[in-house]
Structure 1
Amino acid sequence: MTVRDALNMALDEELARDEKVFIIGEEIAEFDGAYKITRGLWKKYGDKRMIDTPITEAGFCGIAIGAALLGLKPICEFMTFNFAMQAIDRIINGAAKNLYMSAGRYPVPVLFRGPNGNAKGLAAQHSQCFAAWFMSAPGLKVVSPSTCEDYRGCLKAAVRDPDPVIMLESELLYNLEFPVSDQAMDKDYQIPIGKAKVEKPGKHITLVTHGQAYVYTLQAAEILAGQGIEAEVVNLRSLRPLDWDTVFKSIGKTHRLMTVELGWPRCGVGSEIVATVMENPVFFQLDAPAVRCTGIDVPMPYSEKIEYECTPKDHHIADYAKRVCGTKF
C-alpha cells in the first residue's frame, strides 16, 4: 500500500465514522486534492463535508478553528506547511492556547495536516521543515509519521483527539509503498500520540528519527550492518509529546545516540532530544557524545542536485554513525 492510499482510506473511514468530521482546504474537493490524497471523497460526501477554499490559509484555518470550537471536528489541509505561515497566528493563538486560556472550557479538536519539508526542486519558500517550530508550542500535539501504518494510526488518533494536532507529512513519501498488517487495517486502528516504535533493534548505536528521514535512516542501518555495526532505529512518530521512555531505554542498551532529521541544525528536534538526554540520568549511560545529523544550515537551493546534498541521505547518516562509534568497529 502507498502512503497516499493509506491516507485516503483513513480519511474516508473517519468521515464515514463521524458526521462531525469534515475536510477543508485548497482544491481538496472537486479537484481531489493537489496530491490526490482526498481522491473520490467529494463525490462520496458532498460539499458540506469536503469544502474547497480560495488560496487564503489564514481564512480557512480560522474557519476550521471556529468550527472546532462549536463542536465539529475539522481536518484542515495545507497544500504545504510552508503556506501555514500565513495562518500561524490562528494555529498558535487561536488553536494551541484556547483550552488553557478558557480554563479548560473550550477545546479545539482540529487536525492540521499536509506535506512538510522539502520535495524536489521547490526552492527555499516551499522546502522548510516546521517540526521544531510546532514542537515548541504548548497546546499543540505534533505527529510526524513515516510508514503506511504510521499514517493510518496517527491520522485516526489525531482526528479523534480533543486537542489541536499538527500532522507533518512528506510529499516524497506519498508514492512509497510499505507493508501493512491486518491489525493496522482495522477501522479503529490508532497509534497513541506520544508513542515511538523501535523499527530495527540493535546494540551499538541508537538512531532516533522521524518522518521522511526515517527512510534514509533505515537504509543507513543496513549499510552499517554490513560493516558490523548494529544500529537501533527509533521511529519517533510523535514529536509532542515525545516518547522519552523508549529513547532512554534504547540509549541504555546501545550507549550511543545520534538523532537524524531533515530540518535545520539550530534549535531543531535533535537539539531538544540531545539537551533532554543531557539533563537526565540516562546521560551517564553514554559512552560517546550524542550528535545530531541534520540538514545544512542554509535556505533550500532550487537546484535538485544541490538540494540532494542539503539533507542527510543514507551514506551521510552511516558516515556520521561510524564517527560516533569510533575506532571500536
Structure 2
Amino acid sequence: MDKVKKWVPELQSLSGLSIIFVVLIHATSYYLLSVLHMDSFEKVDYSTRLVDNLIHGAVPMFIFIAGYKYALNDSNKPYKEFIKRRVNKVIKPFLVISITFFTKDIITNAEHINIINLCKSFLRIFIGYNAAYQLWYIPLYIVILLVYPILYKMIKDERIRSLFILGIVITQYSLSWFIDLLASHPFDFVYYLLYFHMGLIFCKYDVKNKFMKFDTIIIAAYIVITLAITFNTIDYVAGPLKKFILWPLSVMAYYFFVIRIKENKILQYLGKYSFYIFLLHEPIFCTDISYFFKSVGIYYSVFESFIVGIFTLIVTMILYKVIESTFIKKLIF
C-alpha cells in the first residue's frame, strides 16, 4: 500500500501563482504580436518589458515544484514505477487535446493538405510543436522526468550533480548560438533540469527554514535586479541575463513570497486546478478574449492583459467545472 503523500501548502500556492503567470504570458504575447505588431519584448516600452520579466518565470516555477515534490515523495521509488505514474497522468489529456486541434487544423486547411508535411507536423507534437501551443510543456516535463531520476541515481554527490547539470545547460546554450537546431525543441529542454534540481535541493536541505529570515532581502534583490535588467533592450544580451540571473532569482523570490501568503484561498484554489487551467485556457479562450478586446478598440496597453487574464481564468474554470460534472472528464483526463 502506498504511503500517504506529503503535502506542502506553499507549493500549491506557488502553482496558483504560476498558472496566473502562464495565462498572463499568453495574454501579453498576443498584445505584443497582434496589437503592437512586434516580435520581441526588447523592442517595446519599459512597462511592457517589465511585466514580461516579472511573469516569465512561470515554467521554471512549475518545474521547480515538480523537483520539490520528487524529493518529497518520489526520490526513493523505483524508476519504472515513478515514470509510469507521472507520465500516465499527463499523456492522455496531452494526446486528446493535441489530436483535437491537429484535426481542426486539417479540416480548416483541407485544400492545402500534404501527407508528408502532415505526418511531420503530427510527429513534431511530441517534441513540443503543437497547435495547442501551451502543450509544449508536456514533452518538456516528460523529458525532465525521464532524465533527472537517472542523474539522481548515478551521481550521488549533490555538488557534482549540480556542476554536471550546469555544465550541460551552459554547453547547450553556448552551442545554440552557432547551431540553430540546438536552440529548438527538444534540445532546449535541458535548461529546465536546473529548476527540477533546484526544487530537489530546496526540499532536501530545508532551504525554507534556513533562509526564511532572509526572505525580504531575496525578494527586494529580485525586484531591484528585475527593474535593472528591464532597462536592457538588446536581444542577444537579454537571453543570458534572463536565463541565468532573472529566472532563477524569480523562482526563489516567488517561492519565499508565497510562503508568506501560503494559505491564500485564491492561490490555493487556482493551484488545485492549475493543470486543468493550463490544458484548457488556450488556444481558444485567451486568444479569443484578447481578439475581442482588440476588435472593440479597448486594448490600449499591456495592463489590459491582466483583465484578459482574469476573464480567461474564469471562463476556463467554468468549462472545467462543466467537464468535471459530465462523462467528458473520463474521455479527456
> What range describes the TM-score normalised by the shorter chain of this pair?
under 0.3
Structure having the higher strand fraction is 1
Structure having the higher helix fraction is 2
**Per chain length, whose mean CA-contact separation is higher, i.e. which structure has more relative contact order (CA < 8 Å, sep 6+)?**
2
